[in-house]
């Protein structure tokens, strides 16, 4: 249920995809390197016209049992669930069961602004209903089962952030409400509706509403990295529902996207409504522009799972990623795969580190400020690594890669020190910012 709107930047050439252009050997080497250095666990795949051209899975389904993940492994996909839910709502509208302009008053009369909020507002995140995941106590109860009554009370308690349709504000609450609304409309569970309306018609065998992670079903666990992969807690799936409770794999995500954008699930008119963007957000979709092209998709995150799919209608190309652990810059992996898809060059990273004595780290310690950025960065040492912490942010450990140069792979940040000049150069992506030691 991550809130980012597909944060990675998609850089493509206009080169048409063909199997001969894809350097699969180099792409395999890229992922093998990530696996060797514990940088990523997950699966990636891409297709053209519904045909899978590349698929690769690395890492473990269960670290403690040393059980490796496979292309068939099933991951929680977080907010990608919203695209499925939006399709179900559009199908109900096509069946004349619901209307986009219908208000919430008949379904949830006690919600703030219920009479003013429409289904379209929920779908496009323009309802103003506050996101329940932003509530201060969310992480104290997110692993416990919740009933519809309890979730409605939690959402109602959260109130509104703004007047309906006055602006856009991403909120998981919107899609939990749409889940309950679908269940009331069909008189069936969301899990049943998903199977009958989407999964069975297009042959999705590994997509369903998740529950407690079950290794017997080829489901994987999620992990953070801290001197080794550390098992994450599990959000109880009775909470996110159509906002983030669906599980799937890259094979099914590719098939789903191909079916959706080739009008096998909903009409041309319904798809056009989903693709109509207001402040960058459609109905269960986001637009990702690059050069003269546009792709559509969604990103998801729940616990330590992350996922993304992106479809390019003109080329009929789809990319999908599911992950259960990352110790690397989340932007780099999609960019690398997509560069490979479009015949652009990419680098296999070098994770060689540089041995520094703990006493050598002392010269970098201090507080640094920049004339171009409104915050200071404190540099300290944990005895083995440098630790950088910007004002109001979490501390980040940096590995030495050469004399005076350190990196934090997870955020793609490099720090280059010039001790004699008392300066530090911060590099991230194409940005470079000079800091002076105070």
Per-residue pLDDT for 20 more than 80? no
Domain range 358-437, CATH class: mainly beta
Q: Which residues pair with 81 in a beta bridge?
A: none
Q: Which of 26, 28, 82, 34 is nearest to 307 (CA)?
A: 82
- pLDDT at residue 291, rounded to an integer: 60
Least confident residue range of 165-179, 266-280, 298-312, 335-349? 335-349
Task: Judge whether residue 167 has pLDDT over 90.
Answer: yes
Residue 60 has pLDDT above 60, yes or no: yes
Decide which of 298 and 20 is more confident.
298
Categorize the per-residue pLDDT at 148 as very low, low, confident or very high, splitting at 50, 70 and 90.
Answer: very high
Radius of gyration of the chain (CA): 23
What pTM does this model have?
0.87
Distance CA 89, CA 379 (A): 50
The residues spanned by each domain of the chain are 19-341, 358-437
Spatial neighbors of 360 by CB under 8 A, at least 6 apart, are none
3 alpha carbon, distance to own chain's centre:
8
pLDDT(267) > 90: yes
Residue 279 burial (CB count, 10 A): 10
Q: Which residue has the higher pLDDT, 4 or 221?
A: 221
Residue 8: pLDDT over 70: no
Percent of the chain exceeding pLDDT 90 equals 83
- Ranking 83-97, 202-216, 335-349 by mean pLDDT, the lowest is 335-349
pLDDT > 70: what percent of the chain? 94
Kindly report, residue by residue over 397-428, the tens digit of the pLDDT: 999 999 999 999 888 899 999 999 999 999 99
For residue 17, pLDDT beyond 70: no
5, pLDDT greater than 50: no
As a whole number of angstroms, the distance between CA 245 and CA 132 comes to 15
The pLDDT assigned to 386 comes to 95
Tell me how far apart the alpha carbons of residues 195 and 416 are, in angstroms, rounded to a whole number: 53
Interatomic CA distance for residues 398 and 74, integer angstroms? 32
Task: Classify 19-341 by CATH class.
Answer: alpha beta
* Neighbouring C-beta atoms of residue 292, cutoff 10 Å: 8
Mean pLDDT, range 289-310, rounded to an integer: 89
Segment 299-303 shows an average pLDDT of: 97
Least confident of 46-60, 93-107, 226-240, 328-342: 328-342
**Lowest mean pLDDT across 73-82, 231-240, 350-359:** 350-359
**Band of the pLDDT at 133, cuts 50, 70, 90?**
very high
Query: Mean of the per-residue pLDDT values for the chain?
Result: 93
pLDDT at position 379: 97
- The conformation of residue 381, written as its DSSP 8-state character, comes to E
Confidence of residue 18 (pLDDT cuts 50, 70, 90): very low
Whether 9 has a pLDDT exceeding 50, the answer reads: no
pLDDT tier, 290 (very low <50, low <70, confident <90, very high otherwise): low
CB under 8 A, 24+ apart: contacts of 207-210: 207/84, 207/246, 207/247, 207/248, 207/249, 207/252, 207/256, 208/246, 208/247, 209/237, 209/241, 209/245, 209/246, 209/247, 210/76, 210/237, 210/245, 210/246, 210/247
Reported confidence tier of residue 1, pLDDT bands at 50, 70, 90: low
pLDDT tens-digit readout, 344-384: 889 999 898 888 888 999 999 999 999 999 999 999 999 88
- What pLDDT score does 294 carry? 83
Q: Reduced to 3 DSSP states, what percent helix, strand and coil does the chain have, rounded to the nearest 5? A: 30, 30, 45
| Element at 394 (helix H, strand E) | none
**Is residue 315 a contact partner of residue 17, using CB atoms and an 8 Å limit?**
yes
């Amino acid at each position: 249920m991550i809130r980012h709107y597909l944060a990675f930047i998609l850089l493509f050439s206009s080169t048409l995809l063909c199997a001969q252009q894809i350097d699969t050997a180099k792409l395999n080497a890229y992922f093998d390197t990530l696996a060797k250095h514990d940088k990523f666990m997950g699966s990636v795949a891409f297709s053209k016209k519904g045909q899978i051209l590349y698929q690769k899975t690395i890492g473990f389904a269960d670290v403690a049992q040393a059980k490796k993940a496979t292309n068939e492994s099933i991951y929680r996909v977080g907010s990608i669930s919203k695209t499925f839910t939006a399709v179900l709502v559009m199908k109900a509208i096509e069946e004349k069961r619901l209307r986009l302009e219908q208000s919430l008053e008949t379904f949830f009369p006690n919600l703030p602004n219920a009479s003013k909020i429409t289904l379209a507002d929920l779908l496009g995140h323009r309802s103003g209903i506050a996101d329940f995941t932003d509530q201060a106590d969310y992480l104290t109860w997110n692993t416990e089962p919740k009933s519809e009554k309890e979730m409605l009370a939690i959402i109602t308690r959260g109130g509104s952030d703004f007047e309906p349709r006055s602006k856009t504000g991403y909120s998981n609450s919107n899609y939990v409400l749409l889940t309950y609304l679908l269940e009331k409309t069909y008189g069936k569970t969301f899990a049943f509706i998903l199977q009958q309306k989407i999964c069975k018609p297009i042959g999705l065998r590994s997509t369903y509403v998740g529950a407690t992670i079950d290794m017997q079903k080829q489901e994987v666990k999620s992990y953070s990295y801290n001197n080794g992969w550390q098992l994450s807690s599990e959000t109880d799936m009775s909470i996110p529902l159509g906002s983030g409770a669906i599980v799937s794999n890259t094979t099914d995500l590719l098939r789903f996207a191909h079916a959706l954008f080739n009008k096998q699930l909903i009409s041309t008119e319904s798809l056009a409504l989903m693709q109509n963007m207001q402040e960058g957000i459609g109905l269960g979709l986001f637009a990702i522009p690059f050069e003269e092209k546009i792709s559509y998709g969604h990103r998801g995150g729940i616990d330590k799972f992350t996922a993304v799919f992106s479809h390019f209608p003109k080329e009929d190309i789809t990319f999908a990623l599911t992950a259960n652990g990352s110790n690397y810059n989340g932007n780099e992996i999609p960019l690398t795969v997509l560069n490979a898809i479009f015949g652009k060059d990419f680098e296999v990273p070098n994770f060689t580190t540089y041995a520094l004595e703990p006493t050598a780290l002392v010269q970098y310690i201090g507080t640094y400020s920049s004339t171009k950025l409104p915050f200071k960065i404190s540099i300290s040492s944990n005895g083995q690594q440098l630790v950088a912490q910007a004002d109001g942010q979490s501390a980040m450990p940096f590995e030495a890669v050469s004399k005076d140069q350190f990196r934090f792979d997870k955020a793609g940040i490099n720090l280059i020190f010039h001790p004699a000049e008392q300066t530090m150069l911060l590099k991230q992506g194409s940005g470079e910012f000079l800091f002076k030691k105070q």
